[in-house]
Amino acid sequence: MSVLNGEKMTNSTKQVNVAEECDGKCGSCSTSDDCNDHRKQQYEQEQKLKLRLSKIKHKIAVISGKGGVGKSTVTANLAMAFVMQGHRDKVGVLDADIHGPCIPKMLGLKGQTLIGGPGGMLFPVTGKLGIKVVSMDFVLPNDEAPVIWRGPLKMRAIQQFLSDVTWGELDYLFIDLPPGTGDESLSVMQLIPDMDGVVIVTMPSEVSQAVVKKAVTFAKQMNVPIIGIVENMSGFVCPDCGAKVDIFRTGGGKKIAEDLTVPYLGSIPIDPNICTDSDNGLPFIAENKTSPATKAFMEIVEKIQQFLENTETARSKEIKNENMCKCNSK
């Protein structure tokens, strides 16, 4: 049953040809082939999801407490940064903002649609930037169409975006989540248990700070590593006279990171080009290679890479130790 094909979800489930003692473990069931119980569908969906995710080396979610802090801009530019460093066609972006998907516009993919294949398979959209993208925007008939969905449908859509999409072998998958700690965020964290970590984006204003704390607690409660906090829209330098104006204040991101003892990744200054580039479908780091915003962003990327390398080293050590234990116990 597909949400994306417009079919309705229902709580009723059919149970046909199922022995009372079914334990839902279809892999070891002798009558699995003839079974059409809902638990088999669920089992197959889970297996598909596991298989897809096993081919993706690193999964990073970009979250925030408050909306409009530049989460999608950070996601789009993170993806671009890794492409520019040699991972072309090996970077994916899952736009998990069901109600307000912005990634296609920011990556120059407006107007594209998600093409389906046999068996409910879906192909991600890949533009000239070499980034594989999946977004609700590719499913909607036009910009005006709102997605007036409650939680369960959104959860289902995100699940399909992960398990039915042929992401292929990826080095990095970035997931752009809508603000808040509701259905979408919960679903993504539950569907991807081996998430490398989350990047938390905030603005320097105190109002944003109050809300970003919730995002930090959310990640901790979900047992997802926090890669660090990024402060966006930090200060503004007048292009005419060079005066520095703190439109949304400055330094709040660093303060909150210190207060909550989580890593601080850096701050990105306000730059009108960022907005223009986003509107034109071009990540600003590719368009304005020498701007202070790009410089600041690339320093953030470096820290994220460092985090991922450390995680990889730790994982390799773990595997080595496990193997050694096995050898010793023989």
Residues that bind its own copies (CB under 8 A): 65-69, 72, 97-100, 102, 105-106, 110, 143-152, 154-155, 178-183, 186, 203, 205-207, 210-211, 213-218, 221, 236, 238-241, 243, 245-249, 260, 270, 272, 275-276, 278-279
Beta carbon nearer to its own copies, 73 or 90: 73
Cβ atoms within 10 A of the Cβ of 146, count? Answer: 9
Q: How far is the CB of 60 from its own copies (least distance, A)?
A: 20
Nearer to its own copies, 195 or 211 (CB): 211
Q: Quick check: 249 and 287 in contact, CB under 8 A?
A: no
Q: CB 193 → its own copies: shortest distance, Å?
A: 16
DSSP strands (E only) in 215-320: 226-231, 236-237, 244-245, 264-267
CB of 246 to its own copies, least distance (A): 6
Specify the pairing of strand 226-231 against strand 264-267: parallel
Nearer residue to its own copies within complex by CB, 160 or 205: 205
Q: SS3 for 171?
A: strand
Cβ-based nearer residue to its own copies, 221 or 306 = 221
Sign of the alpha-carbon torsion through 7, 13, 17, 22: positive
Q: Contact, 226 vs 216, CB < 8 A?
A: yes
Shortest CB 101 distance to its own copies, Å: 8
Token representation of residue 318: 């773990």
Task: Give whichever of 134 and 136 is closer to its own copies, judged by the CB atom.
Answer: 136
CB of 227 to its own copies, least distance (A): 18
Asked whether the beta carbons of 35 and 26 are under 8 A apart, the reply is yes
